[in-house]
Structure 1
Amino acid sequence: MAAFINDLLNKAELQSFIGREDELQLMQNQLDRDRTDWNLLHFHGISGIGKTALLKRFMNISSTANTIYINTDKELQSPQQFLDIIVNKLHNHPYYNKGRKIGTEQSTTTSNIVNSLNTIATTEPPLILLFDSFELWEPITDWLFHSFIPRLSANVRLISAGRESLRSIQTRSPSWSLLVQHVHLKPLSKNLVHDYLKNNGIDDLILRNTIVKLSDGIPFSMNLCYKMALENGERLETANLKQIVRILCQNVLEELDITINQRSLLEAASVVRQFDKELLMNITGQSLSYEEFDQFCDIPIIMKAKDGWSLVDGIRNWFQTDFKEHSPELFNSYKKRALEVLYRRWTAANPLQRRSLFLENVFTAKNELLQEFYFLNDETVYDIRTAEQKDIAPIMEIWRNRHLNSLQSVNDGTEQEKLIQEVWELEPSAIKAFWENDCIVGFTAIVSLTTEARKIFLKNDLYRNYLLNTKTEENERLFWIGATAKNNDYQALNAIYRYFFEHLMDNFLCTVMFPTDYDVSGLLSLGLKELPWAASVTPSGKKFRMLQVDLRKVSLLKLLTTSKLLTTSYPIKTKKNISVQEVTQLLKKLLPSYHELESMPELLKEANEVMDIEMKDNEAYGDTIRHFIKEAMNGIEIKTEKDRLMMRSIELSYIEQIGTNELVAERLHLSISTYYRYVNRGIEKLALQLIT
């Protein structure tokens, strides 16, 4: 059977819309709602969040429903403008075509229009009125809620959508507070964005992850990224990303009626996660009256936060990226001032307040690991309880079935779940269960590595190298294991990461073990050091690495907010008259021995013939060379996705050593031949970076 164009349009509409099942169900409920249970359903959210798409999706799936959709691209200045729009809609309504004299054959008075709508609603109840772009209806809002809507039959149901809530109406007329149901449209989840992209033919996982991170679940940005990727042969290069961010920022600014000073404050606010009047004044170095601050906080993309105010997550990221791109010196100046204030607040706060301030400091420090996990879907609050005996069995089952990183399996032969019961009996408070709706959705375990605890962990070969070569230390904590009950439960996963990171604040010697296929570059940027001698290999051949950081004398926050950790620079240079080929050959020897340089004096001697490094011993020499290589890699300008994959191939193969070449190629979704080519080309680029 030949497809009709309408069928093709419906299919395209299905592909472009995803999620919002709960919101659609609320709209569907309006069709079945009893007359005595009447309310106005109002959706609100930032520009581009998908309000219009939601209303149109409802019309599409409820095509047999009695609906009238009203939208405008200009502000409605008078009730008559609204009535004229209604008349045009009634003129095309099926009941008008059946000979009913509605609207256009009568004068367009409020009474006649109301009577016409009530007649339609009585004939085939209910009649659904969909009011879109409600922010443009502001001049007639009072008239609408006092002179028009109250005269409608209860068989007429109202669904509206706009950037702002209807709280002002409820304030002016308290009785409306009982009849308006507000629904705040939030960004789509990571899973839904992935599904949208897969449904539309984007199979490249790296590209999907890029779009997920950049779009932050906001449909407008998601569609923009997707279309630009298609136009560029299903890839997004650095220039594309900058262009997308610029378009997104311009789109937001075009929708806002703000002053030049408020635009400057938006840039300052993008530097931090949450802000208050004092913080903005310190960042900008300008005075700000209470009236000016209140007016700034009334901007639609700013919302009340736990400890102040905040830009909407995705928009904050766009403004921050764009600000850093076009004014890097001012951005760094603002960041430095913000960190000074936040660190000062942190040192003066009590322990409970410090946890919240820790969030603000690490966000402003711009650590990518913390930014990616610490601030994702951060609004979910879980009931975190010390595990009880009855919780141990489900916790063991969660660990057997799931892992913090959904790309990895815990069935690696380590059988760490066998230790959970003993650890709990020794230190019940070490194991925390995360509860939601009377269910355990995840757990964490941070264990005091006492003499008794070390005896327990000696039963597992995974920790034997470390435990047999160290003694019991005061205030040592093993950041042991954690998992979520459901795969890809990003909210619970994020809560687990937050719990782990928050406890890095405490004055502990922090020890943690990870599989080598886990990306630990972010943890290394937090100051953790790898202990190569404590590495372990399971009977199944899975490799694990041990990381550690001593925070007993210096806090993680101090490390994060010092220039040494934020902008490391190593004063090393290659000797003159060295060719790219010579440095390339040296790197091909250094990289495979990246973590064992100290035990290879001949190789260090050869490196010294190329590099101007003065070190007293092999241990310091090897550490410096590793830092030198990492610094050079960070200095390479990533212009294309190919550039990024070249550097990532080197990282995974030599620095993180996640496994065989085949495993690295699979991880990066490359053929083995392309992988080898990228590694060789990447080493050449690295050599060139070292001598320029």
Structure 2
Amino acid sequence: MSMEERPHSIASEIDRVEQHYLVGRDQEVQTFLERLVAGPSDRRIVNLYGTGGVGKSYLLDEFRRLSEKALVKFLLLDGHSFSQNPAVFCLHLLRLLRYPEPIIQKTRTDASLLKEFCLNAIQKASEQGRIVLALDTFEEFGEMQLWLRDEFVAHLGSNILVIISGRFPLQGIWQSSPAWRQLIYSMPLADLDYEAVKQYLDRSGIKQIEKIRSIWSQTRGHPLTLSLLVSTTLAKSSRKSAFAEGQDVFSRVLETWLKEVPHHDMRELVEAAAVLRHFNQELLSFIMEKQITTEQFLKLTGYSFIRRLDRGWMLHDLLRDAIGHGLRLRRPEYYDKLWKRCILHYYLNLKQSIQKKQVAWESAEWVYYTGDQLIRTLFYQQSVSYRLEPLEPSNWAEAERYMESRLRCVKDVLIKHANLEMNERFDYVITAEESLKCWKHVSLRELYDLDRGSVKLIRDSQDEICGMSVIIPIHEQTLEYLKSKPLSSAYFSNLSESRLKELRTPSDSKAGYFVASIDVRDYADVSMRQAAGLTFISYMLSAGFVVTTSPVIPFFHAIFQSLGLEKAKNIVHFDYDDQKPTPYFVLDTRGEKLQQYLNKMIAAFGLPKEQDDEDERLLLLSMREKEVVELLIKGDSNLEIAGRLCLSEATVKKHISNVFRKLHVKNRVQLLNIFKGNQ
């Protein structure tokens, strides 16, 4: 009896269990099955790629099982095994093909002959039936990748399906050559979604919804982290030991990722990037207070755990958290210095952006760095995708269905908050009764007629409605409504006439916002909660004046205070019909109050308060750009500056262009006026 035929072997049991725990990869499995039976003219190279720990090798094992079930020979070669040596690769492949050992021994010293034997052997085997050749950990093949492409894969027959699996998509000639490109089927592998994680946990015997949400929040669907954390959860019963083991899990995952970054100088860049939510070359240079070269930056952004966004780049959420946590423990002063530089960067940019009425992006980033641990934990755990959609006739029925569903299916919500810095955990509860209070006085028709931008639907990454906001712009057309209607009247009717006059702006230039409610289907869900929180934050500074209220729920009131809003003095209302005096929370950053607010938020970090405008502008510049500005002020020409700084004239022009852009000037005269105090 052959090894493959032995019943109940350890190998067959491992296969059975691993297949049972494979979740969230239905599309990839279906694609592989289609490739397995595809004709010779179809794409014959599958490029499976994804960051460390995302489950590439696990999926390859499933492809092997599917191949064996279809009676297709599956040959797996791992890049860790060959020392970038084509001869060793060929020897290993010949043995997988069960080529006669005596012949192998005769040819092993002749690399060219060995390659021919190998190609002939695999071609002959493919004439007997389909073959899958899988090359795992492709990045480890190193310089041998060129040989594999041009000397080996290029000569394989049409009945051989090649799988190239690694951390990075195939690049270079693989993509620039139309001939190679048409042969490749790209199969990017992402983290698991919530439903797949829930399915995995169910198969592991973890069925409590609170535990599922906790594990989802900690792992973000990263397969390796999920597997290790589940193992820890099942093995440990006490919370304390489980917490300690959890930290060990993240250390092991971190080690897996950082295999890509063996050199100290690049690890230093990765650590700095981990302190930032989003980064680019200029921002990294600013917080590290040294020039990051283009070569260094391109190398950094080439790592598999970094992805491109609209406004820059970011590390994988889990990696960012793990590195940040480790850096805080190992080098607390250095971490604190980087964090303060981040605050300073957004402080300077926020002041400029508010003048241009473009602050939504800067507001969210500013709050991340100046907000307390509660805000970062609740609203910045992971990257979320959501969008706001104004209420209009085309989505009116959807909005009504959402409201009906919320009122019909309302339930208690438990929100778990963990402060990893203090190793503390505590809970917030929003009862079903309290949730219903938020819907009092919400009339879609009345709000739509008042101002068509008052009601917005919150859509998730699947384009499903997951929430609704009622945020009323304050201007001459809405002020009487706000003075007379429940929730807002107690505040606005108590304002002096001079204060009201300030708020009677034309409808196209809002004086601020009254945030009546921001509701999501489930505040315990991380993505929905973040969508709600970031929606509020994006409005916070955009008009300079925000008023809000909510039922007396500790969760909401803690958020308002953590964001720097203040309770309105001597004004409460009873409009939630619960006989509880309910306060208003206000943030007023109009005019000079903006600087007061910014100073208040940065005071706890030991940063200086408002500085001279000239000093602030200089802070935006790199060290080299400051040197260029100093010489420009002295009257030096580009050629003279190049000579003094040992730079090319083209490089000097580039620095000057960057200075103009950062300082919002168009020419040297405007630049000189800034630093001579003539503007």
Please indicate, yes or no, whether the TM-score normalized by the shorter chain is above 0.5: yes
Query: Is 1:90 aligned to residue 97 of structure 2?
Result: yes
Q: For residue 42 of structure 1, what is the aligned residue in structure 2?
A: 47
Structure 1: tracts of 5 or more residues without a match: 569-692
Q: What is the letter of the counterpart of residue 480 of structure 1? A: A
| Counterpart Cα distance in 2 of 1:429 and 1:103 | 79
8 Å Cα contact 2:487/2:549 also seen in 1: no
Query: Is 1:317 aligned to residue 331 of structure 2?
Result: no
Q: Which moved more, 1:145-154 or 1:343-352?
A: 343-352
| Aligned pairs (5 A) from 1:529-608 | 529=566, 534=572, 536=574, 546-553=583-590, 554-555=593-594, 558-559=597-598, 562-564=601-603
Note the alpha carbon deviations across 1:111-154, whole angstroms, 9 max, x for none. Answer: 443344344444444x3222211111232212222222232233
Q: Which moved more, 1:229-238 or 1:488-497?
A: 488-497
| Counterpart Cα distance in 1 of 2:600 and 2:89 | 56
| Helix, strand or coil at the partner of 2:97 | helix
Q: What is the letter of the counterpart of residue 261 of structure 1? A: D
Query: Is 1:445 aligned to residue 476 of structure 2?
Result: no
| Counterpart Cα distance in 1 of 2:403 and 2:84 | 61
Query: Is 1:389 aligned to residue 393 of structure 2?
Result: yes
Q: What is the letter of the counterpart of residue 264 of structure 1? A: E
Q: What is the letter of the counterpart of residue 306 of structure 1? A: D
Gap change, CA 1:357 and 1:538, over 3 Å in 2? closer
Q: For residue 516 of structure 2, what is the aligned residue in structure 1?
A: 480
Shift of 1:77: 1.6
| Counterpart Cα distance in 1 of 2:558 and 2:39 | 58
Select which of 367, 370, 380 maps to 1:362.
367
Tell me how many residue pairs correspond in the alignment: 556
Select which of 436, 445, 451 maps to 1:427.
451
| Counterpart Cα distance in 1 of 2:386 and 2:371 | 24
Shift of 1:423: 0.4
| Counterpart Cα distance in 2 of 1:287 and 1:438 | 41
Gap change, CA 1:452 and 1:62, over 3 Å in 2? farther
Q: For residue 150 of structure 2, what is the aligned residue in structure 1?
A: 146
Gap change, CA 1:278 and 1:438, over 3 Å in 2? closer
| Counterpart Cα distance in 2 of 1:560 and 1:490 | 31
8 Å Cα contact 1:400/1:417 also seen in 2: no
What TM-score, normalized to structure 2?
A: 0.69
| Aligned pairs (5 A) from 1:155-234 | 155-170=159-174, 173-202=177-206, 208-233=212-237
Shift of 1:23: 2.6
| Counterpart Cα distance in 2 of 1:333 and 1:369 | 21
Q: For residue 270 of structure 1, what is the aligned residue in structure 2?
A: 274
| Counterpart Cα distance in 2 of 1:79 and 1:59 | 24
Shift of 1:21: 2.6
| Counterpart Cα distance in 1 of 2:602 and 2:558 | 18
Q: What is the letter of the counterpart of residue 27 of structure 2? A: D
| Counterpart Cα distance in 1 of 2:369 and 2:278 | 10
8 Å Cα contact 1:419/1:456 also seen in 2: no
Note the alpha carbon deviations across 1:22-56, whole angstroms, 9 max, x for none. Answer: 33332233124333222422122222121111211
Shift of 1:327: 1.7
Q: For residue 129 of structure 1, what is the aligned residue in structure 2?
A: 133
| Counterpart Cα distance in 2 of 1:175 and 1:544 | 73
Query: Is 1:54 aligned to residue 93 of structure 2?
Result: no
Shift of 1:388: 1.6
| Counterpart Cα distance in 2 of 1:551 and 1:249 | 43
| Counterpart Cα distance in 2 of 1:224 and 1:164 | 24
Q: For residue 75 of structure 2, what is the aligned residue in structure 1?
A: 68
Q: For residue 252 of structure 1, what is the aligned residue in structure 2?
A: 257
| Counterpart Cα distance in 1 of 2:178 and 2:238 | 52
8 Å Cα contact 2:138/2:165 also seen in 1: yes
Query: Is 1:81 aligned to residue 88 of structure 2?
Result: yes
Note the alpha carbon deviations across 1:591-634, whole angstroms, 9 max, x for none. Answer: xxxxxxxxxxxxxxxxxxxxxxxxxxxxxxxxxxxxxxxxxxxx
Q: What is the letter of the counterpart of residue 443 of structure 2? A: L
Select which of 303, 307, 328 maps to 2:332.
328
What TM-score, normalized to structure 1?
A: 0.68
Q: What is the letter of the counterpart of residue 390 of structure 1? A: S
8 Å Cα contact 1:271/1:364 also seen in 2: no
Query: Is 1:17 aligned to residue 22 of structure 2?
Result: yes
Q: Which moved more, 1:101-110 or 1:45-54?
A: 101-110
8 Å Cα contact 1:432/1:445 also seen in 2: yes
Note the alpha carbon deviations across 1:344-370, whole angstroms, 9 max, x for none. Answer: 123234747533333333333354455
Q: For residue 596 of structure 1, what is the aligned residue in structure 2?
A: none
Provide the aligned C-alpha RMSD in A: 4.3
Gap change, CA 1:26 and 1:150, over 3 Å in 2? same
Shift of 1:443: 4.1
8 Å Cα contact 1:44/1:163 also seen in 2: yes
| Aligned pairs (5 A) from 1:338-377 | 338-349=342-353, 351=356, 354-365=359-370, 367-372=372-377, 374-375=379-380
| Counterpart Cα distance in 1 of 2:574 and 2:127 | 75
8 Å Cα contact 1:43/1:184 also seen in 2: yes
| Counterpart Cα distance in 1 of 2:523 and 2:33 | 30
Select which of 538, 542, 566 maps to 1:502.
538
8 Å Cα contact 1:402/1:486 also seen in 2: no
| Counterpart Cα distance in 2 of 1:134 and 1:268 | 28
Q: What is the letter of the counterpart of residue 347 of structure 1? A: K
| Counterpart Cα distance in 2 of 1:308 and 1:145 | 33
| Helix, strand or coil at the partner of 1:167 | coil
| Counterpart Cα distance in 1 of 2:361 and 2:319 | 22
Gap change, CA 1:40 and 1:289, over 3 Å in 2? same
Gap change, CA 1:405 and 1:362, over 3 Å in 2? farther
| Counterpart Cα distance in 1 of 2:491 and 2:520 | 27
Structure 2: tracts of 5 or more residues without a match: 1-6, 108-112, 414-429, 504-510, 608-679
Q: What is the letter of the counterpart of residue 508 of structure 1? A: F
8 Å Cα contact 1:27/1:159 also seen in 2: no
Q: For residue 383 of structure 2, what is the aligned residue in structure 1?
A: 378
| Aligned pairs (5 A) from 1:660-671 | none
Give the % identical residues.
Answer: 20
| Counterpart Cα distance in 2 of 1:362 and 1:328 | 21
Shift of 1:563: 3.5
